[in-house]
Amino acid sequence: MGLLESRLLDFDNIILVGFNDSKIPGNKSVNSIIPYNLRRAYNLPTHEVSDSIQAYNFYRTLYHTQNIHLIYDSRNEGAQNEISRYFYQMKYLLNAPMQQYNYTLPISNTSTENNTITIHKTPEIINKLNAYKTTPDTSLSASRLKDYIACPLRFYFSTIAGIKTPNEINELGEAGLLGRIYHRAMEQYYITHTTPKKLTKQETNQLVALAFEKESTESRKQIAIAGFNSLIFNLTCRFIADTIAFDIKRHKTQEFNNVRSEEEIRTQINGINFLAYIDRIDNTQHTTNIIDYKTTTSKTKADINIIDLVTSHESAYHELFQILLYCYLYKLRFGTTTMMPTLYKMYSIKSQNGELTTITLNVPNELLTDTLPPLDIDLNTINTKDSTKIQITDYQQISAPFEWLVHKLLHNIYNPNHPFAPTENSTPEKACKYCPYTTICHIKNK
């Protein structure tokens, strides 16, 4: 507690931290447009009044104290590193018996970049992992597997240890708000439209405003369409218009129906609970389209090996892993059917001219055989040069190798001899650039 809260309390022992002069009694400045001399002339409060109140609160707190520990930090720059003037008052004016200790930390020339954390799987951790098999309401998801792909240690911090990441507010607004508003608006659009229909500007604005309102209700905080959020509002309106225009062209060439938004899928992989919310599912004459909306600017590379989806930290690979995992979970839930995975990328949807983009992957021939390698194989030993390029118009084309890779991931997660260690990527400064746990695992961004 602070000094003000302690006015009616007496203590036997007190530990007072931040005993620097810049904090106690603190800054002399008074936030006022009235100059100091005028304040004195007309008997207005000056900084001396504030000093007097602070001094009273300080000495009143110490009145019945038996042991007092005053801690200050001399590392602050400039005048802020001075010990409080109250120290000298007690020492020289009050002749209080005092003992002073100075603590310094030695400067080491030993690099700490390699002193990273490795978490071994104790019985307690194994029990937490097994909860995803035994507890119905506890599920893994695409996001959690993407965390493991990016860095097993990040997966441990977020999923096993449950360390929450801070919700930092910056001048660019809340991260992810644009995506959530867009998803809500598209969901609402297809609740009221069985087929795509062009909206007026006013109707689009009303749709996005309703999405803001729902986001405010569910997040339990007011999200006003002002400031940076007004930019998100306008950008979402543009994305909605582009998406509807794309769907109208697409519907003319190949009719689709039965549009389902935010479809919940609950199923199991090897006895492990999984939960997914698929952004959108629609059906053409012979195909079920599994669609994921993307409002980011990441670009899909032209030459991607399927193994990259479970080994790379790059978000473009994670997007493809996620949509293919959705296909796998849909197949487990509803059975084998013709499914086409595709992405609606907002920054390029105008150029697609009403045609769904197909995902193309290079698949090692070693993973296209009837006998797949054992799950404990090192992926680096698989020959990726001897591969077949597959343009995915049906998930079944790559279901066997992809599902083997998912099982391989889960095998590593549950293997008691496979610890949660930091990413082994050759460029950790990129892999860890936006990770919220770098201060814990000691990896330094370059």
Residue 179: pLDDT above 80? Answer: yes
Structure tokens at 2: 């602070």
> CB under 8 Å to 200, separation ≥6 — which residues?
none
Structure tokens at 371: 């006998």
Report the alpha-carbon distance of residue 291 to residue 326 in Å, rounded. Answer: 9
Residue holding tokens 């507890």?
A: 135
- Region 113-166+259-446: CATH code: 3.90.320
HSE of 187, CA atoms in CB hemisphere, 13 A: 18
Report the alpha-carbon distance of residue 78 to residue 71 in Å, rounded. Answer: 18
Is the four-CA dihedral 422, 423, 427, 432 of positive or negative sign? negative
Pairing relationship of beta strands 272-283 and 288-294 according to DSSP bridges: antiparallel
The residue extents of the domains of the chain are: 4-93, 113-166+259-446, 169-253
Residue 113: pLDDT above 90? Answer: no
Of the candidates 335, 268, 306, the one whose C-alpha atom is nearest the C-alpha of residue 132 is 268
Q: What is the mean pLDDT of residues 77-104?
A: 79
Q: What is the mean pLDDT of residues 284-293?
A: 94
Report the alpha-carbon distance of residue 391 to residue 362 in Å, rounded. Answer: 9
Report the alpha-carbon distance of residue 198 to residue 202 in Å, rounded. Answer: 12
**For the chain, percent helix, then strand, then coil, each to nearest 5?**
45, 15, 40
Residue holding tokens 């909860």?
A: 131
Higher-confidence position of 422 and 235: 235
Q: What is the mean pLDDT of residues 90-94?
A: 85
Pairing relationship of beta strands 257-269 and 272-283 according to DSSP bridges: antiparallel
Residue 133: pLDDT above 90? Answer: yes
Residue 110: pLDDT above 60? Answer: no
Residue 126: pLDDT above 60? Answer: yes
- Angle between helices 142-150 and 315-334 in degrees, nearest 10: 140
Mean pLDDT, the chain, rounded, equals: 86
91: confidence class by pLDDT, cuts 50, 70, 90: confident
Report the alpha-carbon distance of residue 434 to residue 176 in Å, rounded. Answer: 14
Cα 104–105–108 angle (5° rounding)? 145
> pLDDT tens, 238-253?
999 999 999 999 999 9
pLDDT of residue 56: 85
pLDDT of residue 445: 43
Residue 43: pLDDT above 90? Answer: no
CA distances from 88 to 49, 72, 99, 154, 330 (A): 21, 14, 13, 49, 73
446: confidence class by pLDDT, cuts 50, 70, 90: very low
Least confident of 33-37, 204-208, 213-217: 33-37
Residue 50: pLDDT above 80? Answer: no
> pLDDT tens, 404-419?
999 999 999 999 999 9
pLDDT of residue 299: 72
Share of the chain above pLDDT 90, in %: 52
Element (H, E) at 260: strand 257-269
Q: What is the mean pLDDT of residues 371-387?
A: 93
Backbone angles phi, psi at 259, to 5 degrees: -75, 125
Report the alpha-carbon distance of residue 398 to residue 390 in Å, rounded. Answer: 8
Residue 77: pLDDT above 60? Answer: no
pLDDT of residue 171: 39
Q: What is the mean pLDDT of residues 405-434?
A: 82
Residue 100: pLDDT above 70? Answer: yes
Report the alpha-carbon distance of residue 437 to residue 307 in Å, rounded. Answer: 26
pTM of the predicted model as reported, rounded to 2 decimal places:
0.74
Residue 275: pLDDT above 90? Answer: yes
Report the alpha-carbon distance of residue 263 to residue 266 in Å, rounded. Answer: 10
Q: Which CATH class is domain 4-93?
A: alpha beta
Residue 76: pLDDT above 90? Answer: no
Is the four-CA dihedral 373, 374, 377, 379 of positive or negative sign? positive
Structure tokens at 290: 């599994």
Residue 324: pLDDT above 60? Answer: yes
Residue 116: pLDDT above 80? Answer: no
> CB under 8 Å to 30, separation ≥6 — which residues?
36, 39, 45, 46, 47, 50
Structure tokens at 234: 């306008």
